[in-house]
Chains A and B, each alone.
Chain A
């Protein structure tokens, strides 16, 4: 038994969709967390006259 072209197609589509979604989500989480952290750091700066 060998992987048919349809088998390959399903494998690549499923792996691509799930891998892509996981990568996208985790990248967004890291990005947003960093952004929030940066904002918090900037807000913490006290400018004295």
Chain B
């Protein structure tokens, strides 16, 4: 590891890149739905509890692990864990921190491609005239290649358009990655994040000033939409599922447990602050989620469709809200409808791409730091792996390929990895050394209570989550008793595709574990230890 590592160009660039990693599609689609379905304002109680006991402590832990690893020339968790825990398993556990974000970004890039496609569709009014839920559902299904075309195609004759947008999206991601940390990722964040916030503010202002779009239906108003999200239903707090949902939302929104924060933090200098910078990125993410994300999709849906219909849409899923309800609404927003539609989907695209480059960076860093590859070679390798899973999602979406990857890599795996890292940090590395790492060079005084929280409360919280999710979802899904998105069992025909998705993720884990083994053996031999 004789080569010099890259570093961030500026602190504000780092904050924007880290915030870009955290701010994703979930901020604008998942949060408002979760809040509305899980007790409205009352949902904010478990949400803030999870933020304080899980989100912020884990975020500091990941920043500290990352900066510590970076100081030793490691940009990914195999090297970081091996330095923190002198155990032969440590580096192999670290392979999770490369394989998981890679599996995550494989399907995430495809979802990101939908947002780009819909931004273009909005600008050219491609879906104008498709103004009922049934039609819009058909439009989306045909675009995604999920529709049954035996009766003929109405809008798309296959996945060709979706594939085209996937290739464009993958190309943009690889272009950014190939330019490195400061000139690629940081430059993207400096453009995409301010643009995202600007678009969001424009949309929030428009939504708030909508009032009651149809005077004949005064109950359908933006105010009613805010009431749906914010009026508290305290009875929901008795339901453990609500607490689990809040903890899950904090996980997804802060991009904890993906391995991406470690890699970004590894480019921070040894004595630079991480406490304030990390908190700033989390706060920026929360601002985007609670203040902006909570003020667009649900309020506008209630204003145009009414409460009952919006409740139905919310129950159906985040994508129904984003890709079916919103396009219908934009058509009802007059001459500026195409503009608002473009802004909405461009906002989602920017949120997506700043997250996807972060998820792909661990593979890049691993190949560059541990194997000494140049950026071009690492980009080609990363892009090839991303394409394998991405194309699987494009062609086998209707068979549950993407949902399976989302469940294991984007949901369950995050909690597993977070538990592993917090145990290594607080127990194997030691909380005293860990606390020194967090507070070294800190520009704020980190309350000492977090030392206790990181050592005891966060691992316990994660353990409870893990046990609950394993019993509730992971085991039934693993045994094909239920699908990740519904309680229905897998259709017989989907099982081979689901198995293929699982094998792909497992293959990635084995691939990186083997690579870790190879490089460590080589290094030991070089150092004369073997």
Q: Which residues of A contact B (CB under 8 A)?
A: 1-4, 6-11, 13-15, 17-19, 21-22, 24-26, 28-29, 32-33
Contact = CB atoms under 8 A, between A and B. Distances in A.
B227 A2 contact: yes
A8 B40 CA distance: 11
B232 A28 contact: no
A32 B290 contact: no
Given A1-B228, A2-B227, A7-B41, A32 B287 contact: no
Contacts of B232: 6-7, 10
Interface string B230-242: 1110000000000
Interface of B: 11-12, 15, 40-42, 44, 48, 219, 223-224, 226-228, 230-232, 273, 276-277, 279-280, 283-284, 286-287, 290-291, 307, 443-444
Contacts of B283: 18, 21-22, 24-26
A4 B226 CA distance: 10
A4 B231 CA distance: 6
Given A1-B224, A6-B231, A29-B276, A11 B41 contact: yes
A38 to B, nearest CB: 15
Given A29-B15, A29-B277, 16 more contacts: A1-B228, A2-B223, A2-B227, A3-B227, A3-B230, A4-B231, A6-B231, A10-B42, A10-B232, A13-B44, A18-B286, A22-B287, A24-B283, A25-B280, A26-B284, A29-B276
Given A10-B44, A10-B232, A14-B290, A25 B224 contact: no
Contacts of A17: 48
Given A11-B230, A22-B286, A28 B219 contact: no
B224 A19 contact: no
B11 A3 contact: no
Given A7-B226, A22-B284, A28 B444 contact: yes
B277 A10 contact: no
A37 to B, nearest CB: 10
5 contacts: A7-B231, A10-B230, A28-B443, A29-B12, A29-B276
B114 to A, nearest CB: 29
Contacts of A13: 44
Nearest to A10: B41
Nearest to B307: A1
B516 to A, nearest CB: 36
